[in-house]
Amino acid sequence: VLHTVKYYRDYLSHNIRPDGREFDKYRPILVNMGSVSTADGSAIAKVGRTTVVCGVKAELCQPKAETANEGFLIPNVELPPLCSPKFRPGPPTEQAQVATQLVADILKNSECLDLKSLCIFPDKLAWCLYADLICLDLDGSLIDACMIALIAALKSVTLPAIEYDAALDNKQVNMKDRKPLSITNIPSSTTFVMFDDKILIDPTVDEEELCTALVTIVVKKNELSFIHKPGGNSITDDQLLNCVEESKKRAEYLKLCVII
């Protein structure tokens, strides 16, 4: 398409998007848990064409001195050349680093996982969960797909029982006695874009590139948990409230349609 902005405006003037969706309609969501046999927990999530695979690896480590009774949950988002022609082989791109920090902030704000439950012995031994999120196909709403894949992967994690003798600094791992993680909150992320004065939910990558503003809203237990708006035009209070309400509806849809 030579004149992409005009192409989109022509569609949006008829209250429809080029892919046939109405402004408030999101794409189909698919989740497959336990996809990676070598990980302690894994899942693949598809939001439209956007595909993210998440693998969680559990390792034993020593807690930080300032949080002696807590373990760790460390996410890492990768955007390889495979997912989009925009990326080249090499060190992590700025977009990947921003996405990693955003996922970490969402997890922290939503208190998704009780980090104290990952502590085996204060100041001595705790679990560190490395969550690697690899995008296989990027077609917009990356953070939404990452959060679905991550929560589904965490739901499939089971940790072996550990017997620890602090006096001798001796640990024994019982691989047969495994317990699932205690997930306290399920954060649901929804991305919106503004095109002129119209707000579109669950944008494609073309819509994200052409939009005048983008906002990602995270809700948990029907409450607002996190908002991320990286620049762009301003959004009115009414528009933001509408986006929050749509996010709550989508969170309910995720509970019904996706086992997370």
Give me the pLDDT at residue 147, please: 94
- Strand duo 41-47 + 170-180: pairing: unpaired
Give me the pLDDT at residue 5, please: 83
Is the Cα dihedral 30, 35, 40, 46 positive or negative?
negative
Token match 């003798």: residue? 165
Low-confidence spans in the chain with pLDDT less than 70: 1-2, 256-260
Give me the pLDDT at residue 171, please: 79
Domain that holds residue 168: 4-259
CB 92 within 8 A of CB 78: yes
CATH code of residue 179: 3.30.230.70
Number of domains in the chain: 1
Give me the pLDDT at residue 166, please: 75
CB 46 within 8 A of CB 27: no
Helix (H, G, I), strand (E, B) or coil at 257: helix
Q: Torsion over CA of 207, 50, 99 and 1, rounded to 10 degrees?
A: -30
Give me the pLDDT at residue 107, please: 92
Closest CA to 229 of 240, 242, 245, 241: 240
Give me the pLDDT at residue 260, please: 46
